[in-house]
């Protein structure tokens, strides 16, 4: 596995791990949705920023775009209270999904410009990400523990979708 695939694989595994940890939080009666959401977005942004800094010589800046999207959402979280109002959580998550979708679209365009067939995998990931994101934002109108579970499943699914590209790239590279 080349360096770029390995970094993308580790990053996707980190996002999957975040999703699993978030799914376990209601078992320990940790139900502060705002704090958990801030930590998730911060870790997601840090993973993508580190990934971009490691892969800076490849000149692919999708990780940097995703990190900027996380900063924008964290700034918006300063003005909205999401513990008491699930509409605010849905709004913030929807803004984040739009910004990450734009970064994923740019990444698919990067592969398309280089005549790499992996752009089809990226477009499929983008469509599935948007569908999962819309379904997640529509289902955030429950109690705090259910909101945390829904966010955990969303980030687990997001990590699995991000894991598809390095695995397919590695399998195609072996042929």
Domain count, the chain: 1
Structural domain includes residue 30: yes
The 10s digit of each residue's pLDDT in 110-136 is 888 888 888 899 999 999 999 999 999
Looking at the whole model, is its pTM more than 0.85?
yes
The first and second tokens of residue 116, run together, are 């790499």
User: Among residues of the chain, what percentage have pLDDT more than 70?
Assistant: 99
Structural domain includes residue 94: yes
The 10s digit of each residue's pLDDT in 33-54 is 999 999 999 999 999 999 888 8
CA dihedral 53, 58, 59, 64 (to 10 degrees): -30
Q: Which domain holds residue 123?
A: 3-170
Structural domain includes residue 11: yes
The 10s digit of each residue's pLDDT in 66-85 is 999 999 999 999 888 888 88
Structural domain includes residue 142: yes
Structural domain includes residue 175: no
Chain-centroid distance of CA 101 in Å reads 9
The 10s digit of each residue's pLDDT in 14-28 is 999 999 999 999 999
Chain-centroid distance of CA 143 in Å reads 23
């Amino acid at each position: 596995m080349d360096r770029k695939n390995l970094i993308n694989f580790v990053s996707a595994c980190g996002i999957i791990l975040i999703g699993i940890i978030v799914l376990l939080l209601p078992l320990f009666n940790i139900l502060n949705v705002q704090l958990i959401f801030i930590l998730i977005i911060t870790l997601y942004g840090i993973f993508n920023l580190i990934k971009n800094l490691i892969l800076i010589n490849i000149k692919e800046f999708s990780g940097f775009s995703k990190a900027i999207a996380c900063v924008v959402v964290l700034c918006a979280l300063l003005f909205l209270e999401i513990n008491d109002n699930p509409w605010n959580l849905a709004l913030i998550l929807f803004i984040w999904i739009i910004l990450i979708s734009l970064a994923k679209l740019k990444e698919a365009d990067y592969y398309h410009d280089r005549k790499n067939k992996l752009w089809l995998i990226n477009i499929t990931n983008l469509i599935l990400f948007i569908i999962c994101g819309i379904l997640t934002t529509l289902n955030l109108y429950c109690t705090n523990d259910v909101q945390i579970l829904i966010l955990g499943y969303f980030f687990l699914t997001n990590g699995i979708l991000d894991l598809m590209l390095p695995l397919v790239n590695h399998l195609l590279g072996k042929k």
